[in-house]
């Protein structure tokens, strides 16, 4: 409990420092907890629900809060009073009943209903949330560092399976429906509040953790062949991170298409991305990439999207490291080469910026070239320059120190400076900060 309290205080301090002037910033608050009840409608392809968001103000005079806009019809209330809400410039604004002082807490109750075309993917008898979870619930996908525990209840027709953030607390059976209750105590980034439901078949995977399962839209033998290395991959990341996976289960949801999305304690994986594995086990990148996010991205989360590379660059690099461990050095070198080519294509277009650049990217492709390409080359450089022993000591120190927290590139720099006993300001300025002086 004390560790969670200190972590929450650290997040509040970090978020407070990043906010604009007190009283006029609708994002000057930190979410303390989400309670979400969802009911997907498989016929209408819509969702309805009730959500409670408990938050603390980070500024004096906070009179309005904002979240990502979506197409849901929303009724907001607090202390039994209806609160006006509106959508302006891509943000959902909720006017509070009275201004909050800094440190003051409030709870919003939000009833909603409607389509979520970006956030939910419906099949005939399946549904899952992709990256745009804030299209299907009320949250803020623009603030990955605003993490909070999640309680979720998902109501589905009898006979369906559900996976949602955290641990399954139980199921409440009604006449024609079942309510699945899930709890994720870890502070969770909004884009990870996903779920999946449908008439799936559960396939248990072998290993020390009997809760390690795949929720698959395929025959059991197919699923077992596709995901056979999951346990071994998980144990590899535990060893490299120095942090044990601390949940009873990690669920991989196999769906139609090319989906590859991490979520809290589970991943959504498209059959197109993993279908080649039974014939060629070396094509296992999606298993490793999404699983690695349970450490780098989910547990350690970038404070804001200008440092997306701390999530995605690590996932790509750790996938390469896994491939080296499982398939040999040539497999690692191939992954680093692919990252270098991705970065090179951006440079050929005349675009190259520091990894933690806060400017506006001309396209998503160019942003991904930095976050998924250049960052991987940088991590490989750190490994090459300092050697495996020092490199992995720094990675373990960084991962352990910031477990279930929010990170910036400064945290990574400090971990490598401690491991090497060197001042690395010039190196990080060259690759990460662009020569700007950083607080260290």
Looking at residue 96, which CATH number applies to its domain?
2.60.40.1730
The dihedral over CA atoms of 221, 223, 228, 230, expressed in degrees to the nearest 10, equals -160
Going by the DSSP 8-state scheme, the letter that residue 320 receives in this structure is: H
Q: Copy the structure tokens of residue 93.
A: 């604004």
Residue 219 lies in a domain: yes
Q: Show the low-confidence residues of the chain (pLDDT under 50).
A: 1-23, 437-440
User: What is the rounded distance in angstroms from the CA atom of residue 68 to the CA atom of residue 60?
Assistant: 23
Residue 439 lies in a domain: no
pLDDT at position 249: 87
Going by the DSSP 8-state scheme, the letter that residue 205 receives in this structure is: P
Going by the DSSP 8-state scheme, the letter that residue 101 receives in this structure is: P
Residues 220 and 289 in one domain: yes
User: What is the rounded distance in angstroms from the CA atom of residue 164 to the CA atom of residue 325?
Assistant: 31
Instruction: Give the phi and the psi of residue 18 in degrees, each rounded to 5.
Output: -90, -5
User: What is the rounded distance in angstroms from the CA atom of residue 166 to the CA atom of residue 35?
Assistant: 13
Residues 141 and 180 in one domain: yes
Q: Which domain holds residue 107?
A: 2-198
Q: Copy the structure tokens of residue 296.
A: 């780098």
pLDDT at position 19: 39
Residue 243 lies in a domain: yes
Q: Strands, DSSP E only, in 284-330?
A: 300-302
Residues 288 and 308 in one domain: no
Q: How many domains does the chain have?
A: 3
Residues 92 and 214 in one domain: no
Residues 126 and 17 in one domain: yes
* Measured CA distances, 278 to 80, 224, 250, 275, 297 (Å): 56, 9, 21, 7, 28
Residue 440 lies in a domain: no
pLDDT at position 210: 58
Residue 209 lies in a domain: yes
pLDDT at position 16: 41
Residue 80 lies in a domain: yes
Contact 287, 252 (CB under 8 A): yes
Contacts 24+ apart (CB under 8 A), 429-434: 431/354, 431/355, 431/374, 431/378, 431/381, 432/354, 432/355, 432/356, 432/378, 433/354, 433/356, 433/409, 434/353, 434/354, 434/356, 434/357
Query: Of 267, 294, 321, which residue is a domain's last?
Result: 294
Residue 438 lies in a domain: no
- Burial (CB < 10 A; 0-12, 13-18, 19+), residue 334, is middle
User: What is the rounded distance in angstroms from the CA atom of residue 438 to the CA atom of residue 426?
Assistant: 11
Q: What is the CATH number of the domain that holds 266?
A: 1.10.390.10
Instruction: Give the phi and the psi of residue 388 in degrees, each rounded to 5.
Output: -60, -45
From the CA atom positions of the chain, what is the Rg in Å? 22
Q: Copy the structure tokens of residue 306.
A: 């200008």
Instruction: Give the phi and the psi of residue 427 in degrees, each rounded to 5.
Output: -65, -45
């Amino acid at each position: 409990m004390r560790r969670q309290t200190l972590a929450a205080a650290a997040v509040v301090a970090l978020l407070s420092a990043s906010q604009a002037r007190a009283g006029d910033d609708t994002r000057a608050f930190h979410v303390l907890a989400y309670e979400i009840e969802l009911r997907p409608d498989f016929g209408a392809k819509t969702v309805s629900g009730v959500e409670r968001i408990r938050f603390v103000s980070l500024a004096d005079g906070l009179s309005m809060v904002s979240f990502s806009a979506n197409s849901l019809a929303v009724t907001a209330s607090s202390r039994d009073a209806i609160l006006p809400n509106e959508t302006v410039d891509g943000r959902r604004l909720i006017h509070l009943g009275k201004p909050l002082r800094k440190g003051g807490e409030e709870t919003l109750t939000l009833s909603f209903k409607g389509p979520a075309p970006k956030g939910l993917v419906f099949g005939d008898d399946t549904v899952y949330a992709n990256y745009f979870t804030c299209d299907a619930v009320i949250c803020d996908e623009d603030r990955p560092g605003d993490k909070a525990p999640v309680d979720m209840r998902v109501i589905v027709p009898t006979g369906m399976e559900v996976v949602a953030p955290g641990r399954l607390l139980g199921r409440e059976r009604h006449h024609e429906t079942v309510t699945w209750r899930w709890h994720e105590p870890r502070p969770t980034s909004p884009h990870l509040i996903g779920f999946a439901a449908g008439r799936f078949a559960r396939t248990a995977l072998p290993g020390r953790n009997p809760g390690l399962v795949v929720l698959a839209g395929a025959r059991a033998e197919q699923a077992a062949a596709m995901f056979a290395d999951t346990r071994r991959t998980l144990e590899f990341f535990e060893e490299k991170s120095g942090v044990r996976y601390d949940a009873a289960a990690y669920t991989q949801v196999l769906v139609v298409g090319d989906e590859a999305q991490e979520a809290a304690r589970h991943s959504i994986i498209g059959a197109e991305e993993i279908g080649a594995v039974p014939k060629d086990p070396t094509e296992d990148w999606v298993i490793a990439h999404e699983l690695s996010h349970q450490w780098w991205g989910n547990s350690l989360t970038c404070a804001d999207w200008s440092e997306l590379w701390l999530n995605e660059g690590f996932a790509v690099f750790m996938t390469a490291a896994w491939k080296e461990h499982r398939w040999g050095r040539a497999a690692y070198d191939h992954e680093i080469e692919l990252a270098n080519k991705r970065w090179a294509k951006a440079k050929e277009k005349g675009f190259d910026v520091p990894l933690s650049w806060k400017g506006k990217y001309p396209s998503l492709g160019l942003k991904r070239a930095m976050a998924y390409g250049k960052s991987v080359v940088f991590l490989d450089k750190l490994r090459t320059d300092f050697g495996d022993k020092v490199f992995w000591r720094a990675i373990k120190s960084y991962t352990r120190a910031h477990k279930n927290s929010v990170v910036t590139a400064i945290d990574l720099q400090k971990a490598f400076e401690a491991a090497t006993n060197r001042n690395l300001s010039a190196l990080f300025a060259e690759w990460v900060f662009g020569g700007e002086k950083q607080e260290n």
